[in-house]
Amino acid sequence: MFEQSISTLAQKLRNKDLSSVELTRHFLARIAKLDPQLNSFITVNEQRALEQAAAADALLQNGKGSSLTGIPVAHKDLFCTEGTLTTCGSKMLNNFIPPYESTVTQRIQQAGAIMLGKTNMDEFAMGSSNENSFYGAVKNPWNLDKVPGGSSGGSAAAVSAGLVVAATGTDTGGSIRQPASFCGITGLKPTYGRVSRFGMIAYASSLDQGGPMAKSAEDCAHLMQAMAGFDDKDSTSAEQPVDDYLANINAPLTGLKIGLPKEYFGDGLDSKVADVIMAAVKEFEKLGASVKEISLPNLQLSIPSYYVIAPSEASSNLSRFDGVRFGHRCDDPKDLLDMYMRSRAEGFGTEVQKRIMVGTYALSEGYYDAYYLKAQKIRRLIKEDFVKALAEVDVIMGPVAPTTAFGLGSKTSDPVAMYLEDIYTLSVNLAGIPAMSVPAGFVDGMPVGLQIMGNYFAEAKLLNVAHQYQQHSDWHLQIPTMAKGA
């Protein structure tokens, strides 16, 4: 059952070939058997899941519900879930049980999906390998000695190993697309403002965006349909009509114009990864698309720009975690200052402390203009590069990452090498456009993702392009050996 799509499972549930309780028990059993190897979950809520499944069966019995009703999913552990531990992968929130529900999880719950639990992640979404979690590193299902990518590595690993049908993730600089690529699944980072950030614990507010992660583009479309839409609780939410993401998913690609940025295929890209990407592009040509070279000249500035803007916003956002209202508080503080200092020093991990310090420095008096303001000006140039390119082509394609998944611990002592893993994804967040990762092949037994980028609010087009490719390829159907027979 774990190999089947949302559409197939939804049909079986409606036909009474299967109950949601049976389906939920199946996935809970897989989690119990396989997750000790992966560490993809922080919290599994079996009782709540079975109660939701029973309610979904009652709904389906009366001919009601949506395509997600009765479907087991998981949420990245930075979406607040009322009454369920929400940690953000941090000791700081190791005891935080939210009194309210995030808009994303609420909408998915209202659509009838079953929450199996909360997935592991890099602490406060800061990382590219899911090695920065207070709860330990997540392993890649394709090779347990490799990273799953980050920061949504728990969600990616859980979907890849068939522990859930689909999951939510968030993407601040590639944190949906890179783990999707590393784990061989499909992941969509929507346009900034398309999905509500209310109840989504913030890392960098002008960059964070929630999105779906699943085996296929069609499954992502089902989840996206529930997630997307204006929310008056989120001041950055876009008042833009929500497309029917399945309506044109089968439209032919004849006449599609694809742009290949020359900057994505230069030094630093593994030649075997490049071969996989170009083979995928040739498939699109067979489907009627045309390809032309384009330029995104400011791509190389995305890393320095991002690593000023994101830590600056994190420095501000994470100032609320001081041991006073919620979260970790040190034992026996001598005074208020001692409580602040020790609570934060004990509660935050090394990478989070590092980024808070960088951000605080960039925002300090005398440095704001030199660093933060300059980075925002570069951000504008990066956005203009995309606007210009997307006036000439319908979508832009390239690699998600310069390599396949790397070894656990291989880059933890070299932050620059770790940050360079995001070279092809950061610019999308800085510009605010949508993008997705689609399985496109393997290099030495490890998955490679094709990145597809589009214009603002063109998620339906991206899902259509990805779906058509998946109708003519089977990379998204491949299953890790450890996931078979469980």
Q: Which residue stretches of the chain have pLDDT < 50? A: none
For the chain, how are helix, strand and coil distributed in percent, rounded to 5?
A: 40, 15, 45
pLDDT score at 413: 86
In single-letter form, the type of residue at position 298 comes to N
Residue 6 CB burial class (10 angstroms; 0-12, 13-18, ≥19): buried
- Per-residue pLDDT at 317: 96
Residue whose tokens read 């009474």: 16
Domains assigned to the chain: 6-251+462-483 (3.90.1300.10)
Catalytic residue among 20, 40, 67, 76: 76
255 neighbors 470 (Cβ within 8 angstroms) = no
Distance from C-alpha of 330 to C-alpha of 322, rounded to nearest angstrom: 10
Tokens matching residue 170: 């968030």
* The pLDDT value given to residue 485: 67
Q: Is 384 helix (H, G, I), strand (E, B) or coil?
A: helix
Based on its alpha-carbon atoms, the radius of gyration of the chain, rounded to whole angstroms, reads: 21
Of the candidates 427, 333, 341, the one whose C-alpha atom is nearest the C-alpha of residue 381 is 427
Q: Is the peptide bond before 151 cis (omega within 30 degrees of 0)?
A: yes
How far apart CA 417 and CA 272 sit, in angstroms, is 19
Per-residue b or e along 99-135, where b marks 16 or more CB atoms closer than 10 Å to that residue's CB: eebbbbbbbbbebbbbbbbbbbbbbbbbbbbbbbbbb
Q: How far apart are CA 314 and CA 17, in angstroms?
A: 48
Residue 326 pLDDT: 86
Distance CA 211, CA 199 (A): 14
Report in angstroms the alpha-carbon separations of 179 from 29, 375, 404, 469: 24, 26, 10, 20
Residue 175 appears among annotated catalytic residues: yes
Predicted pLDDT of residue 377: 97
Q: Phi, psi at residue 133, to the nearest 5°?
A: -85, 140
Q: How far apart are CA 351 and CA 63, in angstroms?
A: 50
Q: What pLDDT does 114 receive?
A: 98
Task: Tell me if residue 357 falls in helix, strand or coil.
Answer: helix
Q: What phi and psi values does residue 117 have, to the nearest 5 degrees?
A: 170, -165
Say which of 128, 129, 133, 151 is annotated catalytic.
Answer: 151
pLDDT in tens, 63-93: 999 999 999 999 999 999 999 999 999 999 9
The number of residues making up the chain comes to: 486
Classify residue 200 by its DSSP letter. Answer: B
Note if 151 is an active site residue: yes
pTM equals 0.97
Contact indicator for 158, 40 with CB cutoff of 8 Å: yes
Catalytic-role residue among 67, 175, 305, 343: 175
Closest by Cα among 128, 83, 139, 133 to 106? 83
Characterize the bridge pairing of strands 395-399 and 257-261: parallel
Q: What are the start-end ranges of the H helices in 39-83?
A: 46-61
